[in-house]
Amino acid sequence: MDIRKLTPDLSVAPQIAPEDAAAIAAAGFRTVICNRPDGENPPELHAAHLRTALEAEGITFLDLPFDGMTMTAEVIVKLREMIAEAQGPTLAYCRTGTRCTNAWALGQAGEMDAETIIATAREAGYDVSGLAPYLSQKIIA
């Protein structure tokens, strides 16, 4: 697994597998958010299989699948709410971690300055600088 910390409460990762559940629990995560639609994965990596494995480890599993075409303001708000309401450290995953990071970054627009958002993502290994025009203004309520 390639888990990358964005904030003290949020980390992101590329696709995880059911066999990663014990290691995710051992790393201290209490909530996992799936941002990857099942249609992008083979059946063994569908959300239902991850849910079963993670819940068996005592981890809350939340499903908010989206892609570049369906990442709307509503999705960004919902992800921000999920992270805020999560009990304990949260891990969000998608194919590479980029879509989770982009949605997090857009959700911080107007809350954090753009340079801090970009630097935070960069420290985690993600380049969100292309979002800079959107990060300097509050785009969601």
Structure tokens that stand for 54 in this block: 């993670």
Q: What is the pTM of this model?
A: 0.93
**Cα gap 61→83, rounded to integer Å:** 12
Cα distances from 72 to residues 22, 54, 76, 79, in angstroms, run: 33, 27, 6, 11
Sequence ranges of the domains in the chain: 4-135
**What does the pLDDT read at residue 9?**
94
Pick the CATH number of 4-135 from 3.40.190.10, 3.20.20.220, 3.90.190.10, 3.40.50.11740: 3.90.190.10
- Above pLDDT 90, what percent of the chain? 84
* The pLDDT value given to residue 111: 87
141 has a pLDDT exceeding 70: no
Reported as a single tens digit per residue, the pLDDT across 55-112 is 999 999 999 999 988 889 999 999 999 999 998 899 999 999 999 999 999 999 988 9
Give backbone dihedrals phi and psi of 34, rounded to 5 degrees, phi first: -90, 120
Sign of the torsion formed by the C-alpha atoms of 53, 80, 68 and 105: negative
Q: What angle do CA 7, 5, 79 make, to 5 degrees?
A: 60
Q: pLDDT at position 84, please?
A: 93
